[in-house]
Amino acid sequence: MTMQLLLIENKELHQSQSLLSNLENQGYQVIVVDTIETAAIQTDSLWPNLIIFRSPYHPLDPSHLQEFISRLTVKIPCIIVSEEDYLPLETASGVTMVSISHPQQLVKNIQEAVSNQKERFIRLTNLVIDRQQRQVLRNNERYSLTPKEFKLLQLLIDNHNQVLSRKEIMQAVWETDYMGDTRTLDVHIRWIREKIEDNPSKPQRLITVRGRGYRFIMNLD
């Protein structure tokens, strides 16, 4: 699965100074922005696996760093690349600082951060599912999933393109064989559709297979 990185750096940097080519050569999908405001918007609309902030300041301005971190509304790991060798000892949780003069350490930090994010996001057309935070991002709108909603959605995704019977779902999610009343399942299916479907009344992903059960479609035609 391709890892998506958000790179914040001065777009006027010469190609030889930019981190873009190096990151793309490592196989990452990179989105480049040059302002904190744009970075905050892109973070909210993309949910990247990692944010890399190439600080234009020498020395790094702590207030500028704090402003950047305060703009993040979703918990995404962040690497601050400083132009100086001396780095502050204290950083916010989820934030790593590294000097541009230590490229090997930078590569190592990026690889470690991305490795921890490999299984976090499921990226589909107009839909991102955050398995770590149990959230859904659809058309720039964020939705939280209850534990049962997430367990049900995860089950359907793990068995995507396959039909799961109502009995199989009830056993896996509610740990019961009782099939006398499955309205709870129907309600949860409706709630999930309201969060992942553009038109819940005409679902494209979470499909009812009449008389059999439900199926999750990963790739829409």
Does any domain span residue 221? no
Q: Give me the CATH number covering residue 198.
A: 1.10.10.10
Residues 15 and 107 in one domain: yes
Residues 182 and 102 in one domain: no
Which of 88, 115, 142 delimits the end of a domain?
115
pLDDT in tens, 64-81: 777 777 877 788 999 988
Residues 84 and 161 in one domain: no
Does any domain span residue 27? yes
Residues 21 and 57 in one domain: yes
Does this model's pTM top 0.85? My answer is yes
Does any domain span residue 17? yes
CA distance 88 to 75: 21
Q: Name beta bridge partners: 129.
A: 122, 136
pLDDT higher than threshold 90 for residue 175 = yes
Structural domain including 203 reads 122-216
Which of 115, 145, 162 delimits the end of a domain?
115
pLDDT in tens, 134-167: 999 999 899 999 999 999 999 999 999 999 999 9
Residues 101 and 175 in one domain: no
Q: How many domains, the chain?
A: 2
Query: Which pair of structure tokens corresponds to residue 20?
Result: 């873009």
CA distances from 130 to 27, 48, 114, 169 (A): 22, 11, 15, 21
Percentage of the chain exceeding pLDDT 70: 91
Which of 115, 135, 158 delimits the end of a domain?
115
Residues 106 and 179 in one domain: no
What does the mean pLDDT of the chain come to?
89
Tokens 């709108």 identify what position? 141
Contacts of 213 (CB under 8 A, 6+ apart): 163, 164, 165, 166, 168, 169
Q: Give me the CATH number covering residue 28.
A: 3.40.50.2300
Residues 96 and 137 in one domain: no
